[in-house]
Amino acid sequence: MGPAFDQLLSLKMDMASFTADWLHCDQLSNYVARMVSHDRRDPVRHSNLLSSALNELLEMSFRSEADDGDFVCNFYRCQQTERIELIFPCPPEQRQSYKKIVLGLQTGRALINYFNVITNDAASDGQAILLGLVVNYDAEIQIRDLDIGALAFIVDLPLERLLN
């Protein structure tokens, strides 16, 4: 059992409202990143990094194209690490695809796979996003199929460590 994470923030809205306008993703990621980063060593830099990472994750939920159900975004912190828990409705085939991608992140070949994905037009956006978080942010990513037609991404971002 790892160290305990303290909850910082929780957002919940219906998916239809969230997906109504792509601009919501950018606004939401900027707002939340500023809220969560205010007490970090370099809050502006921390907020920029967190906003970029969160925006990538929000894009994945936005692309689920599901309008029914709730969108939930929870933030936690444990020492130098921020945890984003993103829960959103997702079609079964997309859940399977994401699970396969996250399983592939465990191979220890993230950098090589990331280069292959960003130079391959046929690669999925989800794969590029998740590999990019692992390579660029040293993220640890877990996924849970909630068996209610929803998926949860749990992404640990050691952003304070990246600032050193």
- Cβ atoms of 121 and 160 within 8 Å: the answer is no
Report the share of the chain in percent with pLDDT over 70: 98
How far, in Å, CA of 3 to CA of 40, rounded?
A: 19
At residue 147 the predicted structure's pLDDT band, cuts being 50, 70 and 90, is confident
Structure tokens at 155: 């992404």
Q: What is the pLDDT of residue 32?
A: 93
* pLDDT per position as a tens digit, 27-64: 999 999 999 999 999 999 999 999 999 999 999 888 88
What is the enclosing helix (H) or strand (E) of 135? helix 125-137
Instruction: Tell me the whole-structure pTM to 2 decimals.
Output: 0.90
Please give the Cα distance from 34 to 16 (Å, whole number): 25
